[in-house]
Structure formats: structure tokens, C-alpha cells
């Protein structure tokens, strides 16, 4: 049985909210020195990317509704398959610069009525 689009969007929004909560009040230095925090953030980014990949596979109309969708999925693939090449400073930049936009866009999509 196929999940509804809103279920994938909820997974993305929930994981993004978790990342934001985990990193709230932290800076890059704190992030670099907290292995547990880095692992938690990467795990949640894995969920974001996988849920987004599944969303687009089942509901391709969302491709144009989320900014940098291909980059987000590629980032998930790097975390999962190319873990040795993940740069912590780049993850931090994504948390600070790109994640708030993704979170906002997905929250807006969740507010929209089903079509």
C-alpha cells in the first residue's frame, strides 16, 4: 500500500525540526567536538533525503515545489554511501543555511489541502 504524500512530507518536516532542535544554541566548534550530535544530525539528514526520494518517486509533482531537491537527495546518498567524504563543516553550513528553507517549504506544503 502506497503512503500518502503528506506522510513523506511529515517525515521530512519532523527530521528537519529534530536537526534544528539538536543544533539550537550550538556553533560549529560545538558541533565538531560532539560525536553524538554529528551522528544524530547525519541520521536525520538520511531520513530527510530518503523520505524526499520516496516522495518524488511516488509523487513527482513535488519536484518543482522543493528547492534544491536533487542536491538534498545527493547529500543523503553521500552520508549513507560516501560517509568517509562527509565534511563536518559542510554539514554545519547546510544546517545553518539550507535546512531552514527546506523546513519552511515542507511545512507550507503540509498546510496545503490535498488535491
Domain ranges of the chain: 5-111
Q: Could you tell me the pTM of the whole model?
A: 0.93
pLDDT in tens, 34-68: 999 999 999 999 999 999 999 999 999 999 999 99
Of 107, 105, 1, 13, give the one whose Cα is nearest residue 58. 1
* pLDDT at residue 71 is higher than 70: yes
First to last CA, the chain: 19
Amino acid at each position: 500500500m502506497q503512503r500518502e504524500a503528506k506522510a513523506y512530507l511529515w517525515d521530512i518536516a519532523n527530521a528537519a525540526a529534530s536537526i534544528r532542535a539538536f543544533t539550537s544554541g550550538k556553533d560549529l566548534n560545538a558541533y565538531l567536538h560532539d560525536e553524538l550530535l554529528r551522528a544524530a544530525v547525519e541520521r536525520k539528514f538520511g531520513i530527510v533525503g530518503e523520505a524526499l526520494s520516496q516522495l518524488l518517486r511516488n509523487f513527482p509533482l513535488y519536484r518543482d515545489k522543493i528547492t534544491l531537491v536533487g542536491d538534498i537527495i545527493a547529500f543523503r546518498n553521500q552520508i549513507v554511501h560516501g560517509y568517509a567524504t562527509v565534511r563536518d563543516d559542510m554539514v554545519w553550513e547546510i544546517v545553518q543555511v539550507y535546512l531552514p528553507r527546506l523546513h519552511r517549504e515542507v511545512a507550507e506544503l503540509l498546510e496545503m489541502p490535498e488535491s
